[in-house]
Amino acid sequence: MTTTRFAPSPTGRLHVGNIRTALHNWMLAEKAGGTFVLRIDDTDAARSREEYVEAIREDLAWLGLAPAREERQSHRLEAYQAAFDRLRDAGRIYPAYETSQELELKRKIQLGRGLPPIYDRAALKLGDDERAAKEAEGIAPHWRFRLDHDEAIAWDDGVRGKQSFDAAQLSDPVIRRADGSWLYMLPSTVDDIDMGVTQVLRGEDHVSNTAVQIQMFTALGAAPPAFAHEALLVGKEGKLSKRLGSLGCDAFRERGIEPEALVALLARLGTSLPVEPIADRAKLLETFDLSTFGRAPAKFDDAELERINTAIVHAMEFAQAQDRLPDGMDEAGWHAMRPNVATVAEAEQWWKLVTGPIAQPNFAAEDRTFLGHAAETLEWGEDPWRALTSTLKQVTGRKGKALFLPLRQALTGMDHGPDMGELLPLIGEDEARSRLKRAAAA
């Protein structure tokens, strides 16, 4: 069975890049009838906060990305220790004692000589006495995973195609800090094994991590999952944008963005498929395929999101919006207001055209006469707007803007807005006649 995972760290709110990763992993699992797992990467106790764990759950629920189960790395420390002990006993993990300043100096020297800035494995050359002496000085070691330079690293990436790395050109990664806390690499590998993850879809900034983790899977006697690395999001200017890191579900909700709009955009952003206002998840899943993903940066454009959101709101049924509409707005009211709103929340301001009060403009004398005649002519029937304008056209000879604009201004106080044929019945006969008389007398 296909099993994917989304593994955020609860050190802040989910941003749009995280959301896209979560969505694509959910889609991979959903299309295959598999399992989507939420894994909370909370081994960093100092920075992880429970309020962010809850926010992640709420954001995924709002997006409709329900995980089959949730796992917490903080509950799995014994599993990581067991894997650590096993790898250390096998000689694949070793202690290193350099400070961050010493490592930075080594990198600068290597770069100055035109060499790749990879760790020189100096710690492997230390004897037992030398290690004991450092620890006697109070220098606690950090721990590195020893890459096998003779083991080929290659995989068929679901997005990038054939990938290969020379292990000798990679640094032995630090997997555990001197204080005993874990870094990302080993716990993630152990989790993927224990949780039966079959596909890992993440950003292309993890490609070199994948090369390292493939050797970790092998060292632990497990087959690695299928890996795919999608292009990162950039702003519409084509550059990485710090602003993308602040665009989260909370910000989208405040702006009135529908989850269906965000899903429709992110589902196809960075693929060869057109981005369309598709609210039906089943239709998006039908066409979801990693083979459509490109390697060029995926450009996130707020204007495109708003365009999609507006289209989805315009197609939204009353039942979908009902709980968020102003008191008194029924299905006919929503149908009348819907073409004029970009978000559901905007329906409230348009509904005031019905409930009033409205501010009418000052009309010229001839328009006041015309509106007074309209008040007397108004007859209530199945289609009062058509009946009123037809009669006024015949009687006054007015047509086009001269006919319709004064009526709209008198009845709504605005030059534009919802279709008057739908709006006038909502205003009601008595109120409509009262507004026309008031405009005529102004």
DSSP string, 328-358: T--HHHHHHHGGG-SSGGGHHHHHHHHH---
CA atoms of 275 and 237, how far apart (whole Å): 18
Q: In this predicted structure, what is the pLDDT of residue 247?
A: 83
What's the confidence (pLDDT) of residue 152? 86
* pLDDT attached to residue 197: 98
Single pTM value for the model: 0.91
CA distances to 170, 233, 300 from 255, rounded to whole Å, are: 44, 21, 16
CA distances, 219 to each of 239, 310, 311 (Å): 39, 52, 52
User: Do 45 and 77 meet the contact criterion of CB atoms below 8 Å apart?
Assistant: no
What is the distance between the alpha carbons of residues 94 and 88, in angstroms, rounded to a whole number? 7
Low-confidence ranges of the chain (pLDDT < 50): none
- Amino acid 118: pLDDT: 93
Of 331, 129, 121, 24, the closest CA to residue 6 belongs to 24
Beta pairing class for 35-40 and 69-72: parallel
Report the SS3 class of residue 293: strand
Q: Which domains does the chain have, with CATH numbers?
A: 3-72+184-232 (3.40.50.620), 79-176 (3.90.800.10), 235-314 (1.10.1160.10), 318-354 (no CATH), 356-441 (1.10.10.350)
Nearest-5° Cα angle at 313, 311 to 317: 120
What's the confidence (pLDDT) of residue 239? 63
Torsion angle (degrees, nearest 10) of CA 170, 174, 175, 181: -160
What pLDDT score does 243 carry? 72
Query: What is residue 151's DSSP assignment?
Result: S
Q: Which helix (H) or strand (E) holds 105?
A: helix 100-112
pLDDT score, position 286:
97
Cα dihedral 27, 9, 296, 287, rounded to 10, equals 0
Q: Read off the DSSP letter of residue 182.
A: B
Whole-number pLDDT of residue 235: 86
